[in-house]
Amino acid sequence: MSDTDLAELGQQLRVDSVRAAAAAGSGHPTSSMSAADLMAVLLARHLHYDFDRPDNPANDHLILSKGHASPLLYSAYKAVGAITDDELLTFRKLGSRMEGHPTPRLPWVDVATGSLGQGLPIGVGVALSGSRLDKLPYRTWVLCGDSEMAEGSVWEAFEHAGVEGLDNLTAIIDVNRLGQRGPTRHGWDLDAYARRIRAFGWHTVEIDGHDIAAIDEAMTSAARTRGAPTAIIARTRKGRGASEVEDKEGKHGKPLTDPDAAIGELGGRRDLRIEVRRPDEAEPAPRGGGDPHTSLPRYATGGSVATRTAFGETLAALGSLHDDIVVLDGEVGDSTKAQLFAADHGERYFECYIAEQQMIAAAVGMGVRGWTAFACTFAAFLTRAHDFLRMAAISRSSINVVGTHAGVAIGEDGPSQMALEDLAMMRAIHGTTVLYPCDPNQTVQLVTAMTGRPGISYLRATRGEGPVIYGPGDAFPVGGSKVLRSHPDDQVTLIGAGVTVHQALAAADQLVADGTRARVIDLYSVKPVDTQTLRTAAEDTGRFVIVEDHHPEGGLADAVMESFGNGHPAPRHTRLAVHTMPGSATPAQQLDAAGISAPAIAAAARKLAAS
């Protein structure tokens, strides 16, 4: 395509963006119009992609980080013949694939975007896969908005990519000067962006984002640059080409009031079709197998092992059994024990440092390429990455997340290090699996189960050592539980998970000595929960004491009680949880102070059984 034809294609993308938003009565046409020339040149001259084979491993990856500009992306899909004009005009309508922000309902969309500041961090994960795992020549292109440059996660991504020298990654920044409510922090000061990005080791190019030749030259430069990623910083005008909205405040996120006039200004409708260059055939090295002679860890009953240790040892063994497993660490691998994986599989271990948002984003990006990712840090610090986990669910991502050092049981480090919200956070995310083992052999089984589950799986692991109560051959299906004490004369059921299972067992022994029988359930699968076992226990005993090393909101007790209703009456119950703000103390003192130790459980059970 000539430069003139590319300018026409840019105008077509603008017109179709205006039309799509007008048909919907909502949307972001002005944000789409500013980046139309950038998209036109990328599609026609630089992107290598087979739209008939979106799963082709040699395809480039295009991530629209400024996901609100979805009309531009959908207009591009029309231009390449992937969708029809009729489907384009279903934008934002019930049942349409043309959602307000793109999601992988469309086969050409790798990840959902729309929460700004996420596209580039995920792109780093995709690019890392290409350079260090797949070893394929595909490029990752990320179209960013200037407003999202205020997000800290973007700068985590710039640093990570710069340190890794990801010359297969190009960020295209659409600097259109205007955000949602007015001008952006740096306006059209391209050098303000370039100085900062260069400081992270990137190659930068500053251009007029409406100059076709300059865009082409910048993208060519990006492809030729070795040893560093490239940022193309493009000065554009929001609403380009339509006088009603061009470079005017107050027009963000609204369809044009007179779309026909704007379409006329832009030269009218066009129906240009372009052939995106298909990539050269390439196949990644086979993966998914491993050494079938590797054994998973086995722990003898009667000993004492921390579940975090069992996690690390299991992960290292699984890395030998499955060569598609990758591990990402938040610079605490010595504590989470994820570092045990690095000793045997260093080429598949990625240090993300203290950048939890980037760690989760990179895991999502590696999942795009089919790798089985484990992202590991202290459970408390995952709260910083909650939005990335939320968006990962919208992206239909399958990643595994492990949080260690949970609850008051960590002891002296104090409340800043104690995850007391993580179960609630992870349970609330759509489609998650939430697991909380109390025993190392149980941990082995649950970590192994995570590797094959769709969606986001979360495992909560404990810092301190605990007794080994299960044998290596015991089974722990996801969605199950273990009844550890049971008698026909049970008067109350004690329910725990993780550290509180051991406290519940000790409480049950105390109660037996008093003549009170208590059933004990290890509810290791917090989501999905073992509804049938809970309902049976409710019918048999009528009373529950639910004990958790977590705040009372949204954790184990809520998971238990959600099993009732719809004809299944809830039992009388007492919830024991961490209601106060902990300080520093030993683990045993912490459990006592929180009221979740064995004596507190026994006292609550006696009171409930007597009433």
* Strand, coil or helix: 485: strand
SS (H, E, C) 463-477: CCEEECCCCCCCCCC
Strand partners, 297: none
Q: Would residue 356 show up in a list of annotated catalytic residues for this protein? A: yes
Three-state secondary structure call for residue 486: coil
- Three-state helix/strand/coil letters over 89-110: CCCCCCCCCCCCCCCCCCCCCC
Angle (CA) 534-539-544 rounded to 5° is 55
The answer to whether 299 touches 431, Cβ cutoff 8 Å, is no
CA distance 378 to 333: 9
**Can you tell me whether residue 208 is helix, strand or coil?**
strand
> Which residue type sits at 442?
Q
E-strand stretches of 368-507: 372-378, 399-404, 433-435, 456-460, 465-467, 482-485, 492-496
Contact, 120 vs 143, CB < 8 A? no
Calpha distance 175→172 (Å, rounded): 9
d(CA 413, CA 408): 9
> What SS3 state is found at 107?
coil
Q: How far, in Å, CA of 385 to CA of 383, rounded?
A: 5
Distance (Å, whole) CA 314 – CA 318: 6
Cβ neighbours of residue 53 under 8 Å, at least 6 residues apart? 59
The whole-angstrom separation of Cα 225 and Cα 217 is: 12
Tell me which of 99, 151, 313, 356 is the catalytic residue: 356
> Which H helix or E strand runs over 591?
helix 587-594
Task: Determine the Cα–Cα distance for residues 581 and 280; give it in Å rounded to an integer.
Answer: 59
- Closest Cα to residue 231, out of 200, 274, 210? 200
Question: 572 forms bridges with which residues in the sheet?
Answer: 543
CB atoms under 10 Å from CB of 472, counted, come to 15
Q: What is the C-alpha to C-alpha distance for residues 149 and 234, in angstroms, rounded to an integer?
A: 13
CB 64 within 8 A of CB 173: no
**Surface-to-core class of residue 474, CB atoms within 10 Å of its CB (0-12 exposed, 13-18 middle, 19+ buried):** middle
User: Which DSSP letter does residue 57 get?
Assistant: T
Catalytic residues: 356
